[in-house]
Amino acid sequence: MYLLLVSVFISSCLIFYAFLGVYYRNKRAISIRLDKISKEDNKSIESELNQPLFVRVVRPMLDDITRVVLKVTPKEIISVFERKVITAGSPFNLTIKDWINIQIVIIIGLPLTTAAFSMYMGFDARTVVFICIIELCFGLLFPNMLLNRKIRERQKVISNSLPDVLDLLTVSVEAGLGFDGALAKVIDKMPGPIAMEFEDVLNEMKVGKQKRDALRDMAQRVNIPDLTTFIGSIIQADQLGVSIGNVLRIQSEQMREKRRQRAKEKAMKAPVKMLIPMVLFIFPTIFSVLIGPVIIKVIYTFTQ
């Protein structure tokens, strides 16, 4: 009986201490977690306060305004603007929201700044309204003009480098590499916009997209007729089982001939373009140098 009571007492003490250990362990874990969260909150607050005013205040306001603009603007306009940004290669590493933020800042910021400065300086109200209208038009047109310029520059670089890229693809395929390996060789040896596009194609193929779909998406992004023709030939050769090396060689010769024709066309247009500055600036100078002394001598003779 005595041994039974002792064993019950010892068991009860062990169970009690076990419950106390679990309780205090959970409580300690909770306190450690709360301390960690409070430290992270303090760190996050300090890191936010250390950031510039634009990041803390202006950028969230612009994001809210951009969200409203994206909801109000028709989807067709947003899709066209987004397609331009993609075709331009996301210049300056800016997304579609960043470009809309720039447009909002120009449209709202410039007229407000001009109006406040004009009120402070006491300028005429009609002049201020006229300047604000010009700034509003500038804000609407400037991002599109800049994107169109970047698109033209990028398409020109891709068109000029396309024959050389096709030559490297042809040599790589004929040397025994597959088409994917030839694209990787182009990415390694010829950096530039077209190499970046080929890298996107390979990345899309790695995540499971079919080769023809990735190439079609590339053609839509770049939007160059020569590249679209080349990609169509590659897709057709892949579907029909034709040798890609022969297709690449034919396409390379055609692209090189087209580049030669474009150079000849520009050379033939050069005299016509030079005619206007010659008539406006060079010929009057020549006439003034040749006829000027004669006119001065005639005036001097008749005044004697």
Q: Please tell me which residue, 83 or 60, carries the higher pLDDT value.
A: 83
Residue 67 has pLDDT above 80, yes or no: no
Instruction: Label residue 18 by pLDDT band (50, 70, 90).
Output: very low
Token duo for residue 38? 């409070």
- Distance, CA of 159 to CA of 223 (rounded, Å): 11
Q: Please tell me which residue, 123 or 213, carries the higher pLDDT value.
A: 213
- Give tens-digit pLDDT for 109-120: 777 887 777 777
Instruction: Label residue 188 by pLDDT band (50, 70, 90).
Output: confident
**Residue 55: its pLDDT value, please?**
63
Percent of the chain with pLDDT over 70: 80
Q: What distance lies between CA 200 and its chain's CA centroid?
A: 14
Residue 22 has pLDDT above 60, yes or no: no
Q: Please tell me which residue, 177 or 35, carries the higher pLDDT value.
A: 177
Residue 5 has pLDDT above 50, yes or no: no
* HEC sequence for the chain: CHHHHHHHHHHHHHHHHHHHHHHHHHHHHHHHHHHHHHHHHHHHHHHHHHCCHHHHHHHHHHHHHHHHHHHHCCHHHHHHHHHHHHHCCCHHHCCHHHHHHHHHHHHHHHHHHHHHHHHHHCCCHHHHHHHHHHHHHHHHHHHHHHHHHHHHHHHHHHHHHHHHHHHHHHHHHHCCCCHHHHHHHHHHHCCCHHHHHHHHHHHHHHCCCCHHHHHHHHHHHHCCHHHHHHHHHHHHHHHHCCCHHHHHHHHHHHHHHHHHHHHHHHHHHHHHHHHHHHHHHHHHHHHHHHHHHHHHHHHHHHCC
Q: Say if residue 267 is exposed, middle or buried (CB neighbours under 10 Å; 0-12, 13-18, 19+).
A: exposed
Residue 42 has pLDDT above 60, yes or no: no
Domain locations in the chain as residue ranges: 55-153, 156-262
Residue 9 has pLDDT above 60, yes or no: no
CATH architecture of 156-262: Up-down Bundle (1.20)
Instruction: Label residue 159 by pLDDT band (50, 70, 90).
Output: confident
**Residue 279: its pLDDT value, please?**
79
Residue 75 has pLDDT above 70, yes or no: yes
- Give tens-digit pLDDT for 210-266: 888 888 888 888 888 888 888 888 888 888 877 778 888 888 888 888 888 888 888
Instruction: Label residue 45 by pLDDT band (50, 70, 90).
Output: low
Cα distances from 267 to residues 20, 241, 280, in angstroms, run 93, 41, 22
Instruction: Label residue 25 by pLDDT band (50, 70, 90).
Output: very low
Average confidence (pLDDT) over 271-281: 81
**Residue 28: its pLDDT value, please?**
56
Residue 13 has pLDDT above 60, yes or no: no
Average confidence (pLDDT) over 191-202: 86
- Distance, CA of 81 to CA of 99 (rounded, Å): 9
Contact yes or no for 202/187 (Cβ under 8 A): yes
